[in-house]
Structure 1
Amino acid sequence: MLRQVELVERVLSYDPQADEDLLNRAYVFTVKTHGSQIRASGDPYFSHPIEVAGILTELKLDTATIITALLHDTIEDTVATHDEIQQIFGSEIATLVDGVTKLSQLELQSDRTKQAENFSKLLVAMSNDIRVLLVKLADRLHNMRTLHFIKKPEKRLRIATETMEIYAPLAERIGIQNFRDELEDLAFVELNNEARRSILRRLEYLRTEGEDLVEKIVSSLKDDLSEAGFQAEVSGREKRPYSIWRKMEKNNVAFEQLSDIIAFRIIVSTVEQCYHVLGNLHAKYAMVPGRFKDYISTPKRNNYRSLHTTIIGPERQRIEVQIRTREMHETNEYGVAAHWQYKQEIGDAVIEGQQYRWLRELLEILEEASDPDEFLEHTKLNMYQDQVFCFSPKGDLISLPAGSSPVDFAYAVHTQVGDTCVGSKVNGRMAPLRTVLHNGDQVEILRSKNQTPSPTWESFVVSGKARSAIRRFIRHQQRDQYVELGQSIAEKAFRTEGKPFTEKALAPVQKVWGLDSIEDVYYSLGDGTHTGRQLLEIVFPGEKKNLDDKDILALKKSKPAKRSKDRHAVPIKGLIPGMAMHLAGCCHPLPGDRIVGIVTTGKGVTIHTIHCDTLEQFAEVPERWLDVSWQTEGHESEQLIGRMNVVMANEPGALSSITSTIAANNGNINNLVISNRSEDFFEMRIDVQVRDVKHLTNIMAALRADPVISSVERATN
């Protein structure tokens, strides 16, 4: 444990203007307030905040941050209060301590929920001052160094998992590589110690076999660069076990196949020299194809900058070489801490500049997530994936997770761009929205103010920001549609009883169902949790309800013309998959068909044709039947699916003839499946995008006129 004088001397060594008196008072305050508290290791508890402060002196952080580290557990674990800290140490330090304090004291449902709550609060705190995160990371690092003292294996496993999933990626995102490497390696001990020991044994074997191989390579590289006139610093560094293990898993290769177990760094004075050194190495040694990465022209999201190349270098060894300037090296090793300027007075503009884009994106995800667990899921997506670099038409660089699509690109530019995306061009050519983007792709997003996010996008987007924005839209849109549908169901239920509808009459329903508002009553009806009959039984207790099996029979026998004008029918509109109303996949109803709705709990209303065989399953639950009608106005351009069973002759050009006929009649084939084939005929099922029944009938008539077609029938089930 650092003694008081040692800690103060460390701070003064890099910041002679530091407030020595305040540092001494903070040291004494933490020792006094933690008193006789003991850690799991048996050490006095105050040794922990002192060691955390010592870790942060390695990053050469300002006095306020060091004092915050000393005091970070006092509010939660001792009798000290926020007001007391503010009175003694000032408002800046009090605010920082409050931000680092373990914030959640709530009784929550699970450890995962508690973890998610705390993490979301940590992000909010560090969005105002990233020093909160620096202290929190140092706190976690020291706790991981002493994790082995905790007796309960399940607790050690939980802490190690949390460290690997959250804190190590956070350290990587703000560029503090040493923190990330050590956090990952300490967590690796708990999560897969057998694999770690195996890698350590292989590393030890390499050291024994190679003896002074690293020194020989470093010496050869220095000589090569000196001959070329470069003054460069060259060093070799062995990668940590977890980093090696991750590469083996990611690339599915054996230990012996890795070329960068030892990375060699060349540090020069200028950016120009970086590229000159690279050219010199490639001229002298064979380069391994596909292993060159230029992070100077396209930095990583944490502002990591360096040239990486793999060569068959001195001693005929395959080695990775990283080339960078001294300034780049400092930023790569210490990240945001390398540029922190709290030692002097700085303006708001500089503070704003320190807020990385990824942090703002995480805060946007926090605003859009419906619950802490969902936020944690999207945040992991955002932090954990490798990158691909793409460009906008104006040349702006956008970094995305590997596997991203144009939709991810659109949301990375701006949420509104993503919400209104209708198409994309990749490298000047039209491309599907689910296209996987690659490094260097130029992406142009096509937009329409009438477009809204499609629920199907969620199946292929990979970035947390895109996924959370899509889910948020679906959640809000779904609720609006359920409420609107529920209101229609309530009004129809009153009409069947011949009673005037008023929202005031629903007050007893709200009370009986235990809901907060009349809107919640509508939502409960719309999503199928309750039915119109149940509502009537509360509003008009004891009265016989009119809807029975006879009504269902009448519904089946009613004429389309009569039913389409029925004022009591609930109109179908806004048929977005996954929302309040769904078109049944068994009978594929189209505008012009006689239809009926079946209310399903939690899924809203599924629309069937009136003669669909599936309806027999609901004959015993008449309260689930809902009279619905097509809303024709304003939806002429909607394309729905009509399904046909086609038998065609097996001869050259037959399939071309079918597709040409469908296209000539403004149909678009959505799917085609050959269900049976023989020497003479093929039987197939064709799904076609059409406007209504009349459109589908016209296409079928045109197909029947084609000599290669034996028969065409609409598939109803």
Structure 2
Amino acid sequence: MTQVIEPRVEDQAPAAASAAVGAAPPIDQAVLADLERLLDRVSQYNPHIDRDQVRAAVELAHMAHGGQLRDSGEPYIYHPLKTAHILADMEMDQASIIAGILHDVVEDTNVTLDQIHERFGEDVAALVDGVTKLPDEMAAPADLGTEKRQQSERKRRAENLHKVFLSMARDLRVVVIKMADRLHNMRTLEHLPPERRDRIARETLQIFAPLAHRLGIWHLKWELEDLSFKYTDPEKYDEVAGLVAKTRAEREGELAAAIEILRERLRASGIEAEIQGRPKHLYSIYQKMLSQELDFSHIYDLMAVRIIVNTLEECYHALGVVHELWVPLRGFFADYVAKPKPNNYQSLHTKVIGPSGEPMEIQIRTWAMHRTADFGVAAHWRYKEGSKEDSFERRLAMLRQQLIASQSDTRDPQDFLRTVMENILADQVFVFTPKGEVIDLPAGSTPVDFAYRIHSDLGDHCIGAKVNGRMVPIDHRFHNGDVVQIITRNTSGPSLDWLKFVKTATARNRIKRYLRRLTRDEDIVRGREQLERELERRNLERIDLSRHERVAEVATEMNYQSVDDLLAAVGHSLVSVHKVVERLKLQPVQETPIISVPASRSEQPAGKIGITVGGQEGLLLKLGKCCSPLPGDAVTAYVSRGRGLVIHRVDCPNAIKYYQKEPERLVAVDWQDQDDAVYPAHLQVLVVDRVGALNAVVSIISESRVNITRMKVSTAPNRTGLLDLSIEVRSTDHLCSLMRRIETLSDVLEVRRSESGYRR
């Protein structure tokens, strides 16, 4: 039977299972012809391409994907071939071309990375691994409810992007291959259902197009933006496209006249140049209409002129010719040749009053600059040999450092993705160190953001800055081209006020981390005590939690850098005691006796909410109001007099009191999460006392579909506010996930689970 696979877009699983290698029909002539076109294109810039290796990759991909079809109805092999064509147009190296051909075989078929490594080498295998999504075992089970399934799918998409970004930190070719894959998928997106088209297009607009911009791959950025625009706002897209089409003939005539005038004047000046007309892209036109609140009829520079010359000197000579011909508009000249953008883009930009009396944008660059402008970071591998690109190497290294720093700031893939979008993919401002190094930051950044970008110690001790030689306060907003020198004092540290003006997630996270260190020791002690009590309650092997190697292993498994970090997370209620103890897998010392409790009609049967005692269900219970236990907590049951079982967290003061006075009345219980059940929980959120802080917290809780049953707000003289919240959640995992989301808010200093709600 022919297998059908939907277009390979991120977060989509194949409609059919993987194909076995060797199950494919013979390669048809159309595929072979496309392969030869690919080889001819690559040979134009790489005459030494190993044609046999590329052919072998196509043969393997064809056999692996077998008779699979995409939703468009075409054989699946065309997708990896088209991906390779896009990479060839960016003049990527041989390993990238082969990895582009094989980018889906590990994910969708029985081919393994070991087989790719053996046949094509370590470089290709590493690239394929970088673009391969996480295994299907991590997908949401089919029997999950709609809401939980959607949450699981969002988490999995974030985890896949998280993997790509971390692979990108090791080798930027990974993300170039991923973007080529995404571009071909966007070109065939019409074959998907509307809801999925919209989600994929929005993800492309939010992540992949800004990433192409960040890496300087302009032609890819523009096409991704226009394709995304087509699906995210089809009415506006059609409106703008229609308006552009109506005036195209007139504009093309004006542009042709301007190009002819330029060509004659440049030739008369001894400059041989290629002159191109470049239409503005639909999405950029729409964004200009929005940002400047302009009607379409008031946007005049819908087409630009590009002059490509042979030498650097001719760039400035050509600029002089342009300004002799037409009057330049003040404030619209930019010299990106002398000061390249961080993605290595170089050109002279000017805007003049053209021959028709309308504004006209002109860009002037050399052929080498043109290659970099089109291919960005992708051009780096083709042309770096023998070139002087130390500054670009340093900028690539800084981008990698930003990705690694984003990973160290948060362990949650969804939080990581938000940090990357805010720190790396947002609109940028470009400033310089005193040594001339370019530092790119989100627009609106301050000296504190700059300092934390360089090093956490520099940020922690920042007291001010010199910008362009003049002292400025630490909340000063940068402009493009500022030269920044940070002023420090060893005895100074961050304050709460800094959270009001910093722009980057990195700065916010590190300020919060500094402030939280003040309570870290208390959290470590509390976490150790909670774990020790739980080990004792379960009658498990007693160990030294600070020194036992298994505890260190668990800390590493849970992505904590040290045992103390793990203990502090337990003490801060960021991870449940139950989870840590389960991972420790310690041996029991002795059996814990189970007491059978007769049922009473007046109480809730335990089995209804997933609690069993010694394998028995139907026993009556109450949840202790003193500690509000949840599924996932380390819990115990107290056999009360006449009221059945009362469930307590093991770190509850009442449970500790019972253990000291009546240990025989405490019994072990097993509590499984029930999909449709919610339980009371209580949070305390410490925020900066300013307008909007409360609303932001409540909005996050509402977006998480969590019900707030009570809320109390109080303020302190130190300009902080405390929110006491009573909410309803499903489990400790649900609660911890909500706490992590709240902690990402810029005004939030601390989130802590409290024992019980406030008292009226």
| Shared fold (TM-score, shorter chain, > 0.5) | yes
Q: Displacement, 1:39?
A: 0.5
Q: Give 2:154's aligned residue.
A: 112
Q: Does 1:281 align with 2:313?
A: no
1:532–1:623: 8 Å Cα contact kept in structure 2?
no
For structure 2, the 5+ residue unaligned runs are 1-30, 141-150, 546-550, 552-565, 577-625, 629-647, 663-685, 690-712, 727-734, 736-754
Q: Give 2:129's aligned residue.
A: 98
1-structure distance, mates of 2:485, 2:54: 54
Which of 217, 240, 261 is the aligned partner of 1:176?
Answer: 217
2-structure distance, mates of 1:478, 1:112: 33
1:598–1:624: 8 Å Cα contact kept in structure 2?
no
Which of 142, 147, 155 is the aligned partner of 2:184?
Answer: 142
Q: Which structure 2 residues correspond to residues 167-206 of structure 1 after superposition, within 5 A?
A: 167-206=208-247
2-structure distance, mates of 1:622, 1:205: 66
Q: Displacement, 1:520?
A: 6.2
Q: Give 1:647's aligned residue.
A: none
Query: Alpha-carbon deviations, 1:272-319, whole Å to 9, x = none?
Result: 322232233234422212211221222222111111111112222210
Q: Give 1:424's aligned residue.
A: 465
Q: Displacement, 1:442?
A: 3.2
Q: Displacement, 1:261?
A: 1.4
Q: Give 2:422's aligned residue.
A: 381
Q: Give 1:339's aligned residue.
A: 380
2-structure distance, mates of 1:380, 1:589: 32
2-structure distance, mates of 1:245, 1:623: 50
Q: Displacement, 1:145?
A: 0.7
Q: Displacement, 1:483?
A: 5.0
Q: Residues 311, 350 of structure 1: CA spacing in aligned structure 2 closer, same or farther, 3 A cutoff?
A: closer
Q: Residues 518, 130 of structure 1: CA spacing in aligned structure 2 closer, same or farther, 3 A cutoff?
A: closer
2-structure distance, mates of 1:316, 1:454: 55
2-structure distance, mates of 1:201, 1:273: 39
Which of 293, 297, 306 is the aligned partner of 2:347?
Answer: 306
2:332–2:351: 8 Å Cα contact kept in structure 1?
yes
Q: Give 2:78's aligned residue.
A: 47
Q: Give 1:131's aligned residue.
A: 173
1:163–1:187: 8 Å Cα contact kept in structure 2?
yes
1-structure distance, mates of 2:36, 2:292: 49
2:432–2:482: 8 Å Cα contact kept in structure 1?
yes
Q: Which structure 2 residues correspond to residues 550-629 of structure 1 after superposition, within 5 A?
A: 588=717
1:307–1:324: 8 Å Cα contact kept in structure 2?
yes
Residue type at the aligned position of 1:30: A
Q: Does 1:77 align with 2:118?
A: no
Q: Residues 30, 523 of structure 1: CA spacing in aligned structure 2 closer, same or farther, 3 A cutoff?
A: closer
Residue type at the aligned position of 2:295: A
2-structure distance, mates of 1:14, 1:341: 8
Residue type at the aligned position of 1:88: R
Which of 486, 491, 501 is the aligned partner of 1:445?
Answer: 486
Q: Displacement, 1:341?
A: 4.2
Give secondary structure in 1 for the equivalent of 2:463: strand
1:185–1:242: 8 Å Cα contact kept in structure 2?
yes
2-structure distance, mates of 1:104, 1:474: 39
Q: Residues 510, 429 of structure 1: CA spacing in aligned structure 2 closer, same or farther, 3 A cutoff?
A: farther
2-structure distance, mates of 1:395, 1:588: 44
Q: Residues 7, 234 of structure 1: CA spacing in aligned structure 2 closer, same or farther, 3 A cutoff?
A: closer
Q: Which structure 2 residues correspond to residues 356-505 of structure 1 after superposition, within 5 A?
A: 356-474=397-515, 479-480=520-521, 482-483=523-524
Q: Displacement, 1:379?
A: 1.0
Q: Give 2:38's aligned residue.
A: 7
Q: Displacement, 1:188?
A: 0.9
1:390–1:398: 8 Å Cα contact kept in structure 2?
yes
Which of 291, 313, 318 is the aligned partner of 1:250?
Answer: 291
1:365–1:469: 8 Å Cα contact kept in structure 2?
no
Q: Give 1:267's aligned residue.
A: 308
Query: Alpha-carbon deviations, 1:149-206, whole Å to 9, x = none?
Result: 11x2111111111111111112122221111111111111100111111111111111
Q: Residues 365, 510 of structure 1: CA spacing in aligned structure 2 closer, same or farther, 3 A cutoff?
A: farther
Quote the sequence identity (%): 39
Q: Displacement, 1:386?
A: 3.2
Residue type at the aligned position of 2:656: V
Q: Give 2:657's aligned residue.
A: 540
2-structure distance, mates of 1:317, 1:518: 67
1:33–1:74: 8 Å Cα contact kept in structure 2?
yes
Q: Displacement, 1:146?
A: 0.6
Q: Does 1:16 align with 2:16?
A: no
Q: Residues 270, 466 of structure 1: CA spacing in aligned structure 2 closer, same or farther, 3 A cutoff?
A: farther
Query: Alpha-carbon deviations, 1:478-535, whole Å to 9, x = none?
Result: 5545556x599x9xxxxxxxxxxx99667557999xx99876675459x997899974
Query: Alpha-carbon deviations, 1:547-601, whole Å to 9, x = none?
Result: xxxxxxxxxxxxxxxxxxxxxxxxxxxx9979xxxxx9767499xxxxxx99988
2:523–2:567: 8 Å Cα contact kept in structure 1?
no
Give secondary structure in 1 for the equivalent of 2:376: helix
Residue type at the aligned position of 2:189: L
Kindly report the root-mean-square deviation, in angstroms, between the aligned alpha carbons of the 2 structures: 4.0
Greater alpha carbon shift after TM alignment, 528-537 vs 270-279: 528-537
Q: Give 1:217's aligned residue.
A: 258
Give me the TM-score of the superposition, normalised by structure 2. 0.65
1:239–1:261: 8 Å Cα contact kept in structure 2?
yes
1-structure distance, mates of 2:756, 2:67: 71
Query: Alpha-carbon deviations, 1:343-395, whole Å to 9, x = none?
Result: 9999xx99966834223212211121241222111211233333333333444
Give me the TM-score of the superposition, normalised by structure 1. 0.68
Q: Give 1:715's aligned residue.
A: none
Query: Alpha-carbon deviations, 1:654-696, whole Å to 9, x = none?
Result: xxxxxxxxxxxxxxxxxxxxxxxxxxxxxxxxxxxxxxxxxxx
2-structure distance, mates of 1:624, 1:444: 48
1:385–1:401: 8 Å Cα contact kept in structure 2?
yes
2:113–2:125: 8 Å Cα contact kept in structure 1?
yes
Give secondary structure in 1 for the equivalent of 2:305: strand
Q: Displacement, 1:472?
A: 4.4
For structure 1, the 5+ residue unaligned runs are 491-501, 546-574, 579-583, 591-596, 603-620, 626-717
Could you say which structure has the larger radius of gyration? 1
How many pairs align? 550
Q: Give 2:164's aligned residue.
A: 122
2-structure distance, mates of 1:312, 1:5: 47
2-structure distance, mates of 1:17, 1:209: 46
